[in-house]
Structure 1
Amino acid sequence: MSTQPEKTTTLAPQQLAEACADALYQRDLATRHLGIEINSVAPGQAVVSMTVKDFMIQGHQTCHGGYLFTLADSAFAFACNSYNAPTVAAGCSIEYLSPAREGDVLTATAMEQSRGSKLGVYDITIRNQHGQDVALFRGKSYQLRGEILSA
């Protein structure tokens, strides 16, 4: 990722998306604590990954759904905040398709479906290292006032 620029108005959309992701990642203790890494970002898109660790396993010996939700939510956050406009979740839902197990490397890919002046819709697919779909997540975003990066 790139370093935070001094002037955001001169950045190309890709550079802006990367700078926003860098800034948010540094502030996001939860994402970093879980070992979630940003693989890539672009305007309206993000790919993040996480390895399922032993403390993420629930009573059925599979990854707790809350960790899957968090992984998808992180991808959602980086995708919808890629335009230098602070954006938060207005609502989210998740469908669990297959279990994830300890040691699995999960990748969440977020894709913007719609973005208006205030509201957006993003679809996130979580897949394991074998390319198997683990969960589908849909996030609805709401844009706040201000900027992520200072101009």
Structure 2
Amino acid sequence: METDHRQDAYADYLGVEVDTLREGHATAALTVNHHHLNPHATAHGALLYSIVGAALAAAANDGINTGVVSGVHIDYLSPAYRGDRLIATATVAEHLARENLYTVRLVRVADGQIVARATGRATRRTRTEATP
């Protein structure tokens, strides 16, 4: 697996593990702990959004392209609980002239249940040696 060129400090802070798999495809994984829970004892929606966002950002900033995420729509489909291992997989769904559209699925590893589904868009430009 190829890891992203730039560190995602926010993802690191939350405990999200991010990997760029190949051009336009990435994963982000996390095990939900007590710091990630809302008052209902389920994973906070902002946490789920952050895992999805980390995968999307890594997919948009792979070894070939660099991009800025300009929009995300997320649907929360089922709750996640303390101890659940979650993995988000971001994949390019459409290549447009100057941007890509992505599909991201956030899944509970233990049973394959889809926790959230998102779509996102990001600008696309070819990475150069000068691009950080």
* TM-score, length basis structure 2: 0.88
Alignment length (residue pairs):
130
Corresponding residue for 2:124? 143
Change in CA separation of 1:148 and 1:139 when aligned onto 2, cut-off 3 Å:
farther
Corresponding residue for 1:68? 48
Unaligned runs of 5+ in 2: none
Partner of residue 73 from structure 2, selected from 71, 89, 93? 93
Mapping for residues 1-12 of structure 1, pairs under 5 Å: 1=1
Partner of residue 108 from structure 1, selected from 70, 88, 107? 88
Runs of 4+ in 1 over 4 A off after TM superposition: none
For residue 39 of structure 1, report the CA deviation from its aligned partner: 4.7
Separation (CA, whole Å) in 1 of partners of 2:112 and 2:96: 32
Over the residues paired in the alignment, what is the CA RMSD in angstroms?
2.0
Aligned partner of 2:93: which letter?
A: Q
Mapping for residues 18-37 of structure 1, pairs under 5 Å: 18=2, 21=4, 23-24=5-6, 26=7, 28-37=8-17
Mapping for residues 36-47 of structure 1, pairs under 5 Å: 36-39=16-19, 41-47=21-27
Aligned partner of 2:52: which letter?
A: A
Residues 20 and 62, structure 2, Cα contact 8 Å, conserved in 1 = no
Higher helix share: 1
Partner of residue 104 from structure 2, selected from 120, 124, 136? 124
Separation (CA, whole Å) in 1 of partners of 2:104 and 2:87: 10
For residue 40 of structure 1, report the CA deviation from its aligned partner: 5.0
Deviations 1:52-110 (A, max 9, x none): 11111001110000000000011011112125332011110100000000111000011
Higher strand share: 2
* TM-score, length basis structure 1: 0.78
Q: Does 1:134 align with 2:111?
A: no
Aligned partner of 2:56: which letter?
A: F
Separation (CA, whole Å) in 1 of partners of 2:93 and 2:20: 18
Separation (CA, whole Å) in 2 of partners of 1:61 and 1:148: 45
The 10-residue stretch of structure 1 (102-111 or 39-48) with the greater mean CA deviation from structure 2: 39-48
Residues 20 and 59, structure 2, Cα contact 8 Å, conserved in 1 = no
Percent identity over the alignment is: 31
Unaligned runs of 5+ in 1: 2-17
